[in-house]
Amino acid sequence: DCFKAFYVHKFRAMLGKNRLIFPGEKVLLAWSGGPSSSSMVWQVLEGLSQDSAKRLRFVPGVIFVDEGAAFGKSLEERSKTLAEVKPILQATGLPWHVVALEEVFSLPPSVLRCSAQEPAGSEGAYKAAVDSFLQQQHVLGAGGGPGPTQGKEQPPQPRLDPQSLARPPAAAQTEALSQLFCSVRTLTAKEELLQTLRTHLILHMARAHGYSKVMTGDSCTRLAIKLMTNLALGRGAFLAWDTGFSDERHGDVVVVRPMRDHTLKEVAFYNRLFSVPSVFTPAVDTKAPEKASIHRLMEAFILRLQTQFPSTVSTVYRTSEKLVKAPRDGPAASDSSPCCLLCMCALDVDAADSATAFGAQTSSRLSQMQSPTPLTETRTPLGPCCSPGVGRVQGCGQGACRREDPQACIEEQLCYSCRVNMKDLPSLDLLPPYMLAEAQLRTQRAWVLQEIQDCLIEDSDDEAGQS
């Protein structure tokens, strides 16, 4: 009992402390079938059914992504998993969606664009929203019993999502997806790609059905591992977004992690004691040896270190709380700074020849093209015309060059770690069409922007010009 109270309190406190979820808001719960997300869904269900003072006040829906095609599961195995998944989803009583990962091939390029951000709600705005909501409830007759009262105010959600369930995914898409994943050379890059595609898919579903928040069930242990893994992948600049409570890089849809405070052990105990239903779905790295990918290595390392130094996970977690989402050049540049094509974070690469780790890697590539004299000057970049730059396609003035080297043009639009991942992909043509289309569009926009640069009026720094 005490354990349950403590567990539930942690969950509610995490939501309440951050005050990001407004009453009446539609929230999509990303359920993978695993213990943490199952526990999260269970918590939400319990929270919805409590008496009105402490009831959770948002409108949830559940989504399950079927990733079987990414690692070669046959259709029978996938339908078997789906058969296990469906009863659990139906038992939740919430609107649920099942999507297959193949649907990434029919996503529109708009998924990759950061929509306009809503102004961040201040403390006052949250309180005002809660007050007005309570008033509304009161007016509508607060005598309404427990249950999804919000459902009465909106047009009834379809309990079933006929599109994504009735029709199995097109065989061509399945084939394309498995081809894409088979062509990736390392397990590390596969896992990263899978995560990216899954995020985009969930994002798209959330936007399509009007959800403004997505909740994922990452637990404390998983987040500590994720933090260290991302450090090793070169994502040091984005740690706050990847492992913090809220992740607003997509603009209109915010990803929230309410299980951040719960360790895997607690989740396991809770699920066992209170029989929380969960489904085991094999992932791309199930039964992979420890050395297979950076994710596996980090996981094994941290769990092993944890046995020797029991405070490891909590130390890493506390350190992650000290990270901030600092834009590099200050708030003024946030609107115009280019975002990575895949992970949608602000690009973190400098000019090619600077004295940074990135600079060291690019300049060593260029040095192979010159005859070595021991004490040469700092080299003039010879390299391909599309020299890596911060999104601005400097050398790409000529349209012909652009078409010759599409790989480099896509690479320029990626952040450091996405670039490293893409190196493991022999051919970028196998990527889903929405990525290629968006990359093409951005390249064209940048080229056009450069052409008309002289005519554009921009905000000048000095205030004197503006009366």
Partner 1 sequence: MPAPPCASCHASRAALRRPRSGQALCGACFCAAFEAEVLHTVLAGRLLPPGAVVAVGASGGKDSTVLAHVLRALTPRLGISLQLVAVDEGIGGYRDAALAAVRRQAARWELPLTVVAYEDLFGGWTMDAVARSTAGSGRSRSCCTFCGVLRRRALEEGARRVGATHIVTGHNADDMAETVLMNFLRGDAGRLARGGGLGSPGEGGALPRCRPLQFASQKEVVLYAHFRRLDYFSEECVYAPEAFRGHARDLLKRLEAARPSAVLDLVHSAERLALAPAARPPRPGACSRCGALASRALCQACALLDGLNRGRPRLAIGKGRRGW
Q: Which residues bind partner 1 (CB under 8 A)?
A: 186, 188, 227-228, 230-237, 239-240, 291-294, 297-298, 301, 305, 312, 315-316, 318-319, 322-326, 348, 353-361, 363-365, 367-368, 370-376, 378-379, 416-417, 420
Q: Based on CB atoms, which residue is closest to partner 1, 98 or 232?
A: 232
Task: Calculate the alpha carbon distances from 177 to 14, 131, 136, 400, 424 in Å.
Answer: 37, 48, 48, 31, 16
Kindly provide the b/e burial profile for residues 96-118, where b requires at least 16 CB atoms within 10 angstroms of the residue's own CB.
bbbbbbbbbbebebebbeeeeee
Distance CA 440, CA 448 (A): 12
Residue 385 identity? C
Q: Based on CB atoms, which residue is closest to partner 1, 166 or 375?
A: 375
What is the DSSP secondary-structure string of 263-311? -HHHHHHHHHHTT--------TTTT--TTS-HHHHHHHHHHHHHHHSTT
Q: Based on CB atoms, which residue is closest to partner 1, 55 or 379?
A: 379
Q: H/E element holding 76?
A: helix 75-92
Distance CA 365, CA 379 (A): 11
Distance CA 281, CA 226 (A): 20
Spell out the residues 6+ positions from residue 351 whose beta carbon is closer than 8 angstroms to its own: 359, 389, 390
Cβ at position 427, least distance to partner 1 in Å: 19
Q: Are residues 60 and 256 in contact, defined by beta-carbon separation less than 8 angstroms?
A: no
Q: Based on CB atoms, which residue is closest to partner 1, 213 or 235?
A: 235
Q: Based on CB atoms, which residue is closest to partner 1, 161 or 192?
A: 192
Residue closest to 348 by CA, chosen among 325, 366, 369, 379:
325
Q: Based on CB atoms, which residue is closest to partner 1, 252 or 424?
A: 424
Cβ at position 195, least distance to partner 1 in Å: 16
Q: Based on CB atoms, which residue is closest to partner 1, 247 or 438?
A: 247
Distance CA 32, CA 340 (A): 26
Kindly provide the b/e burial profile for residues 47-65, where b requires at least 16 CB atoms within 10 angstroms of the residue's own CB.
bbeeeeeeebbbbbbbbbb
Q: Based on CB atoms, which residue is closest to partner 1, 175 or 321?
A: 321
CB atoms within 10 A of CB 399: 10
Distance CA 98, CA 62 (A): 9
Cβ at position 367, least distance to partner 1 in Å: 6
Q: 65 - beta bridge partners? A: 99
Q: Based on CB atoms, which residue is closest to partner 1, 115 or 370?
A: 370
